[in-house]
């Protein structure tokens, strides 16, 4: 996947950012005002490629939480990017599901998030990599997250739209597998929420950059809105738990 000419070196260490304290607003906090230790997990979209400030959806999501719930938020991850103070994330440009799984196995047991936002699989769709088994590969990744960070709630998103018709068709196949996976894991009592990025509120083709893959700022804003809605659903389901060593 294009990284818009950016050189993205491997970080020397995982960064556990200091938290950002945000003022409580009307509407009440999530889960008795627990710390939200959020790991954004994925590839270049998670990293914020093509956003004007490198923050992707993360600053927008922080702003929405600040304007509503008011919980303390701490983004964590192994590959910081963006102008925001708390710019940690685990977005790894160019990686496929299995490679992000390897990164997660290296990081998640250390980071111990209580909320993991997963958006990964676009590179698999673009490169036509093992599409029939995308759901099974994602399940393996999520199972390991639950093992490594037992208090984590997972929010799994669909892939966003792509203007490459072949990649879009493969993405639809991947999304179908992901949505079925969420239903299966919910049936097993796992704390997981589905976030549909290709619904009517998700990024449109007009919200994407010239490559037809990465959102521009307005597209990332739409992603942030959908993530927030999914976090609200997790709260309503009583999934959110206090982070370990919070």
Domain that holds residue 54: 23-236
The number of angstroms, rounded, from the C-alpha of 147 to the middle of its chain's C-alpha atoms is: 18
Q: What is the pLDDT of residues 161-179, one digit of tens each?
A: 999 999 999 999 999 999 9
49 alpha carbon, distance to own chain's centre: 14
The number of residues in the chain equals 246
**Under a CB-based contact definition with an 8 Å cutoff, are residues 2 and 43 in contact?**
no
| pLDDT-derived band at 27, boundaries 50, 70, 90 | low
**Helices 134-148 & 97-111, crossing angle to 10 degrees?**
10
What pLDDT, on a 0 to 100 scale, did the predictor assign at position 246?
66
Model confidence at 220, pLDDT cuts 50, 70, 90, reads: very high
- Local confidence band at 245 (pLDDT 50, 70, 90 cut-offs): confident
Mean pLDDT across the chain: 91
E strand or H helix at 74: strand 73-77
Is residue 122 assigned to a domain? yes
**Segment 4-24, tens digit of pLDDT:** 333 233 333 344 443 444 333
Whether residue 46 is contained in a domain is answered as yes
Q: Is residue 12 part of a domain?
A: no
CB 154 within 8 A of CB 118: yes
Q: How many domains does the chain have?
A: 1
- Asked whether the predicted pLDDT for residue 25 surpasses 90, the reply is no
Residue 34 lies in a domain: yes
**200 in a structural domain:** yes
Residue 88 lies in a domain: yes
pLDDT for the residue 42: 99
pLDDT digits (tens, 9 = 90+) for 102-161: 999 999 999 999 999 999 999 999 999 999 999 999 999 999 999 999 999 999 999 999
Say which CATH number the domain at 216 has.
Answer: 3.40.50.1110
Residue-wise pLDDT tens digits, 63-93: 999 899 999 999 999 999 999 999 999 999 9
Q: Which residues of 191-208 are buried (b: 16+ CB within 10 A; e: fewer)?
A: bbbbbbbbeeebbeeebb
User: Which SS3 state, helix, strand or coil, does residue 209 take?
Assistant: coil
75/37 Cα distance (integer angstroms): 6
Structural domain includes residue 13: no
Q: How far apart are CA 101 and CA 98, in angstroms?
A: 5
Q: Quick check: is 7 in a domain?
A: no
Predicted local distance difference test score (pLDDT) of residue 73: 96
Contact 203, 160 (CB under 8 A): yes
C-alpha 6: how far from chain center: 21
């Amino acid at each position: 996947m294009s990284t818009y000419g950016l050189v993205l070196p491997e970080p020397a260490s995982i960064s556990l950012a200091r938290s950002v304290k945000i003022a409580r607003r009307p509407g009440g906090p999530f889960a008795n005002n627990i710390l939200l230790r959020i790991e954004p997990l994925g590839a270049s979209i998670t990293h914020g490629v093509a956003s004007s400030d490198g923050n992707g959806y993360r600053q927008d999501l922080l702003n929405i939480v600040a304007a509503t719930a008011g919980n303390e938020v701490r983004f964590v991850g192994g590959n910081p990017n963006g102008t925001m103070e708390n710019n940690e994330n685990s977005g790894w440009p160019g990686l496929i599901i299995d490679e992000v799984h390897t990164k997660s196995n290296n990081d998640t047991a250390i980071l111990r998030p209580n909320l993991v936002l997963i958006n990964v699989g676009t590179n698999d769709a673009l490169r036509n990599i093992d599409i029939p088994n995308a759901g099974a590969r994602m399940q393996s990744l999520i199972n390991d997250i639950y093992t490594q960070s037992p208090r984590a709630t997972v929010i799994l998103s669909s892939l966003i739209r792509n203007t490459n018709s072949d990649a879009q068709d493969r993405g639809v196949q991947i999304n179908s597998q992901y949505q079925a996976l969420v239903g299966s894991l919910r049936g097993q009592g796992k704390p997981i929420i589905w976030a549909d990025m290709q619904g009517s509120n998700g990024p449109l083709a007009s919200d994407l950059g010239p490559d037809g893959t990465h959102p521009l700022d307005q597209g990332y804003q739409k992603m942030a809105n959908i993530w927030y809605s999914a976090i609200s659903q997790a709260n309503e389901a009583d999934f959110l738990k206090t982070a370990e060593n919070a």
